[in-house]
Amino acid sequence: MSSDKYSFDKVIKRENSRAIKYDFREKLFGTSDVIPLWVADMDFPVAPAIQKALQKRVDHPVMGYTNRPQSFFNAIKSWLKAHYDWSVDDSWLEFSPGVVPNIAIAVQAFTDVGDGVVIQPPVYPPFFSVVRDFGREVIENPLKNENGRYYIDFEHLDKVTSNSSVKLLLLCHPHNPVGRVWSKAELYKIGEIALKNGVTIISDEIHCDLTLYKNKHTPIASLSKEIADITVTCMAPSKTFNLAGLSTAYMVVSNEKLLHKLRTYLSGFHLHMGNVFGPIALEAAYNESQEWLNDLKNYLEGNIDFVIDFINKKMPELKVEKPEATYLLWINFEGFNMKSSQLKSFLVNEAKIGLNDGLTFGKQGRGFMRMNIASSRTVIEKALNQLLDARNRIIK
């Protein structure tokens, strides 16, 4: 369980706080009577240093236009060096309003209508929409599921990216929802294929700081100058430190031409300003909240172990692999022998839990659900017991 210092065990009421995870339940699930374990934010309070820094700024009564001082860039550079031994220059860094908006901007900046963009499903649903919404073609390079563990199909990746109409690869690293931390060997292969076929890599590394069980993240752009030259790395402290409600994202781009194209769109849409609180939260997170993050990861590992042990002992027909990163579990419900519509209804109306439908991650997610375990252990236990009780009542 968590230390008293950071109160991960404390249940914080989030209803009526404008939290999508809670106040959007009626619209998504048809009822608010579900334990929400879906949208990827955490039910934990932010690190004390972050709250203190934000409170200090709130105490100043003027909320006008602000800039990002040198301390903002220094915090990012120090974090990347300390955690990934990645030395980056100020000139490589640019604020972005969010990782998904940045991916959408990249799709517009580096492709034309009708061009192909490769994604690797089952994958985070916006990877589909940011391509299709702008008239580009989704090209799938599905991950290979081998007994619950996922791998990249490199032969197929080489084949699809060799098509001259394919301009981008959207890489999810660590991968959401399957929880893989791609190894250096895998990343080198991705880079080699992209270089050979003239494809730019947009690497979503928003979960990079949430590696678990001693797994290590390697930014793909840190592997070589050649790979860095074709890569836009998208990062943020938002998942790590539960700051999703603030604009804290940034991108790392060493290629001046790529960065110039991205900045043209950011400035063109007037998205480059950000807000008054995001940079302050980022600096307090990166400079003062490492101890909090260490305790958080220990607590998340405890929750994951608890869920997997519970499922293996009491509902062995369900299958779930221990993720290498993130606070998301990718659970195979095929053992319940239900159609997708039946499973969704069962979870909401009988088990009273709200999970992410696997089909939203691509057709490869049929029969799966994504579960967010970043809540108090007591909440997770209650949800599992409701699932078990419903299973015992309904499934014979």
Q: Would 56 be classed as within a structural domain?
A: no
Cα separation, 311 vs 318, whole angstroms: 7
Tell me the pLDDT of the chain averaged across its residues.
Answer: 96
Answer with the one of 248, 268, 288 that is the final residue of a domain. Answer: 288
Q: Which of 288, 320, 351 corresponds to the end of one domain?
A: 288
- Looking at the structure, tell me whether residues 207 and 273 fall in a common domain: yes
Look up the domain containing 37 and give its range: 20-47+290-394
Position 349, amino acid: N
Same domain, 84 and 196: yes
pLDDT tens per residue across span 17-36:
999 999 999 999 999 999 99
Say yes or no: 321 and 276 in one domain. no
Q: Dig out the tokens for 238 from the structure.
A: 């938002």
Whether 200 and 74 map to the same domain: the answer is yes
Is residue 331 within 8 Å of residue 371, measured between CB atoms? yes
Residue 94 shares a structural domain with residue 175: yes
pLDDT confidence band for 7 (50 / 70 / 90): confident
pTM for the full predicted model:
0.96
Residue 231, SS3?
A: strand
At 337-359, the pLDDT tens digits run: 999 999 999 999 999 999 999 99
- 297: pLDDT strictly greater than 90: yes
Query: b or e along 128-139 (b: 16 or more beta carbons within 10 Å of the residue's beta carbon)?
Result: bebbeebebebb
Q: Which pLDDT tens digit goes with each residue over 243-283?
A: 999 999 999 999 999 999 999 999 898 888 889 999 999 99
**Two structure tokens written together for 386:** 């409701």
Whole-angstrom distance, CA of residue 137 vs CA of residue 133: 10
Cis peptide before 122 (omega within 30 of 0): yes
Q: How many CA atoms lie within 13 A of 394 on its CB side?
A: 17
The predicted-structure confidence for 70-128, as pLDDT tens digits, reads as follows: 999 999 999 999 999 999 999 999 999 899 999 999 999 999 999 999 999 999 999 99
Task: Report the DSSP beta bridge partners of residue 354.
Answer: 36
Looking at the structure, tell me whether residues 282 and 296 fall in a common domain. no
- Which domain CATH number covers 347? 3.90.1150.10
Please check whether residues 220 and 100 belong to one and the same domain.
Answer: yes
- Is position 179 within any domain? yes
Q: Are strands 231-235 and 250-252 parallel, antiparallel or unpaired?
A: antiparallel
The verdict on 125 and 226 lying in the same domain is yes
Range 311-343 burial, b when 16+ CB lie within 10 A, else e: beeebeebbbbebbbbbbbbbbbeebebeeeeb
Q: Count of domains in the chain?
A: 2
CATH number, position 184: 3.40.640.10
**Cα 284 to Cα 26: distance, rounded to the nearest angstrom:** 35
